[in-house]
Amino acid sequence: MKPKDMRNSTEFSMNRYWVNKNYSISYSSFLGQFFFLALFLLTLSACQEATSIGNEIISGSNNLELVDTDTFEIVAGTFRDDSVFSVSQPYYVAGSMTDPIFGKTFAGIYFQPLPPANRVVLGEDLVLDSIGLVLKYTDVFGDKDYRPSFLVYRMRQAFLNVQFGGFYRENTVFQTDPEPVGYVRNIRLKSSDSSSIYIPLSRSLGEEILSQAGTSNFTSKGAFAGFLHGFYLRPDTSNGYGRNMTVFQMNTSGAKLVIYYRNAESDSLSLSFGVEPVSAVANAIKHQYSNPEIIQQIKGNPPSANAVYLQGMAGLATKIEIPSFAGMKDVAINKAELIITVLPSDEDSLFKAPDRIVPRIKADSSSVLLALPDDEFDRNFPFYRLDGYRKKIMLDGSPYYQYRLNIARYLQEVALGNVSLKPIYLRAYPPAVNPGRAVIADGHHPNDRLKMRLRIIYSR
């Protein structure tokens, strides 16, 4: 089977869409790059000397007029950001939590340990000592004092790596055994990059695996995956939802199935099955909302409290429309900065805002969200940044979190008539597994310093 190309999927290098469709920039020499950089820095210097925010015009000696304004009306709402790819993530999350604002969130992980080699020889007269999972975690989101419990189920359905078509979304459900094969209770989690948990698994499972030694199921990684499709790690919610999410490192060094056994020649042996680059891994995530304001906005109603909502883990996106920008034609945009301020809440010490957010737009009439062209320049040109990272600022003597997104490339294409003006969707990044959430001031917030703003410096 020919592996599928992930570049055609949501959140997988979608910036290529913009590069191929709208740009053919190529700097063939160092001189060309140097000239571009010098021109950019000269423009940036001019922007930094612009007048205060408003509609004042600066006239330079070369008769270039720079306008600095942030008076564009922004219409914002909340959008359900579900059906997100949850594979090939930098990390994965598992747990359950109840947020008084954002409701309940549930997350489990499907993963596939594989043998260390295509052909594994275990010897004769095998006797099982024990079997278990070793899972490394790197962070805890939410109440770090809460002690979660986890269940492990054996998968009973084929599970494919993305290289072979395994493009699973956060709402994908796989068949598992009805009874768990492992359980760990009330784990005391530590905030350390080297912490791990051990989950003992059933003896019957270990004996079944050892019984396959010497058979075709131990002749290749693929054959073993056909025998043991994988495991499903999920939180135990039998006593209600918990208060945190655990961030797991599901790779060769972070997750493994370990069997301790004896054979005819040795009485102290072990075999590790790791989660390898060719293993299949996917997050399964569910949300339940009870906040009336969130429910009304998801239905398409405008905000009633001058606030919109953003939540990672395939939760909520903030939808932004800037209808008055449609009148901007034939202008050179030197800077376009979307300014987003997080409104504080009582639970911020536990449930933090995402460390980064990114802007996306829909591709034509489909529901696929694409990166803006500004993302491409963020990676290739270090002096031009999309940004979107969370920063703490002081406003009126009080601390706030704020995001700034540089979207000049996209709006320039709109002003030139090369692309149409579309709603912008703000997402936590990465959207499938970032557990952060935020209440955001909308574009009509009564406090001008808190409301969502688009600041543009342009010339005609």
How far is Cα 27 from Cα 159, in angstroms, rounded to an integer? Answer: 44
In a domain, 62, yes or no: yes
Whether residue 430 is preceded by a cis peptide bond, meaning omega within 30 degrees of 0, is yes
One domain, residues 312 and 328: yes
**Could you tell me if 75 and 119 lie in one domain?**
no
- 341 and 426 in a single domain? The answer is yes
Helix (H) or strand (E) holding 40: helix 30-48
- Is 87 a domain residue? no
* Residue 256 shares a structural domain with residue 386: no
User: What pLDDT shows up at residue 163?
Assistant: 81
Which string of b and e fits 112-128 if b means at least 16 CB within 10 Å? bbbbeeeebebeeebeb
Show the domain range for 200: 92-288
3-state SS class at 69: strand
Determine, yes or no, domain membership for 194.
Answer: yes
The answer to whether residue 9 scores a pLDDT higher than 80 is: no
Domain annotation covers residue 337: yes
What percent of the chain is predicted at pLDDT more than 90? 72
* Contacting residues for 264 by C-beta, under 8 A, at least 6 apart: 123, 124, 125
Query: Is residue 191 located within the same domain as residue 329?
Result: no
Q: What CA–CA distance (Å, rounded) separates 96 from 212?
A: 36
Residues 305 and 406 placed together within one structural domain of the fold: yes
Q: 365 with 236, same domain?
A: no
Task: Over range 417-425, report the average pLDDT.
Answer: 94
Residue 85 phi/psi, 5° resolution?
-65, 130
pTM score of the predicted model: 0.84
SS3 295: helix
Look at the chain and count its residues: 460
Residues 198 and 259 in one domain: yes
For residue 33, the surrounding DSSP H or E stretch is: helix 30-48
In the predicted structure, residue 242 carries a pLDDT above the cut 80: yes
**Region 76-103 average pLDDT:** 93
Q: How many other CB atoms are there within 10 angstroms of residue 130's CB atom? A: 13
pLDDT in tens, 433-460: 999 999 999 999 999 999 999 999 999 8
Q: Tell me the three state secondary structure of residue 7.
A: helix
Verify that 71 and 111 share a domain, yes or no. no
* pLDDT for the residue 230: 97
Give the end of a domain, one of 263, 288, 313. Answer: 288
Ranking 25-39, 146-160, 161-175 by mean pLDDT, the lowest is 25-39
CA dist 385 and 297 (Å) reads: 31
The answer for residues whose C-beta is within 8 angstroms of residue 396's C-beta and 6 or more apart is 449
**Burial class for 382, CB neighbours closer than 10 Å (0-12, 13-18, 19+):** exposed
Q: Does residue 71 sit in the same domain as residue 99? A: no
Of the three residues 272, 288, 304, the one that is the final residue of a domain is 288
* Judgement on whether residues 112 and 241 belong to the same structural domain of the protein: yes
| Domains: count for the chain | 2
Full strand arrangement of the beta sheet holding 57-59: 57-59, 65-69, 453-459, 332-341, 398-406, 391-395
Q: Are residues 250 and 115 in the same domain?
A: yes
Query: Would 1 be classed as within a structural domain?
Result: no
288, 309, 336 - which closes a domain: 288
